Amino acid sequence: MRLFVALALPGMISAQLSGLIGGIQGARWVPPENYHLTLRFIGEVEPWQAEEVDEALAAIRAKPFELSLKGVGLFEKGGRVTALWAGVERSDSLAHLQAKVETALQRVGLEPERRRFAPHVTLARTDRAAPEKLIAFVQAHNLFRAPPVAVEHFTLFSSKLGKEQAVYVPEVEYELV
């Protein structure tokens, strides 16, 4: 199984984000049903490891909080723009939840995440898009804001890679109380 831990986005926010997309040739836009905020990518695991991951995540205790999306930006790798994203306002509650997820997963033997947590919602993969078009998109939408939404659970997703796009399946939801 290929797994990741994320916050699913409510339909209202997905609809707002999907209103931004389009108009950049070569960009592979993420379908709105796949919008999420990754807390931790896990990757391929054996079924017994998936059970351990589930037990570890179920033991996490954190309080519900509000999440706000703000702005858009680009990720670069090796001088090439690889992704277009919507930003997430930093909050102590989000950082706390992400740290608890990371700690729980390390306790069951997963390697520590090497990348610094950069909360975002991927809108498009952009390795085949013209950089000037991407920069213009960011400039046109950098004032994007979505109203705060209540985060009352986080989710363990499985990911199945397809020809056109990945299919994300929510496997287990963990309530925040």
Residue numbers annotated as active site? 36, 120
Which amino acid would we find at residue 136? A
CA torsion sign, 113 to 17 to 64 to 89?
Answer: positive
Q: 55, exposed or middle or buried, with CB in 10 Å at 0-12, 13-18, 19+?
A: exposed
The residue assigned the tokens 């890679």 is: 161
The residue assigned the tokens 């723009």 is: 81
User: Under a CB-based contact definition with an 8 Å cutoff, are residues 39 and 154 in contact?
Assistant: yes
